[in-house]
Amino acid sequence: MAKCPVCGKPSAARAVNEAFPFCSERCRLVDLGKWLGEEYRVPVHSPDEEEDGGQPRGDQDDRRGEGDDHHDT
């Protein structure tokens, strides 16, 4: 049985596994991302990722006129 090149788990046979030689579509995408320069990230973020409720963010007060060069013509 083939091994998934990404996670090392055994991959199912091609006949029953569209992602062959990877064990899953997810691993196939991970490998694809590597070939694309690792810029592509597998969409694994969950909807409840927003956990910054209460942490004060100072970035927005620290702007120094950025985006100030738009012209009103």
Positions touching Zn ion (CB under 5 A) are 4, 6-7, 23, 27
* Least CB distance to Zn ion at residue 46 (A): 20
From residue 53, alpha-carbon distances to 31, 37, 39, 46, 48 in Å are 34, 33, 28, 16, 12
Q: Which is nearer to Zn ion, 5 or 62 (CB)?
A: 5
Sign of CA dihedral 61, 67, 69, 71: negative
* Least CB distance to Zn ion at residue 4 (A): 3
* Least CB distance to Zn ion at residue 22 (A): 5
Q: Which is nearer to Zn ion, 27 or 29 (CB)?
A: 27
Angle in degrees, CA 19, 15, 32, rounded to 5: 15
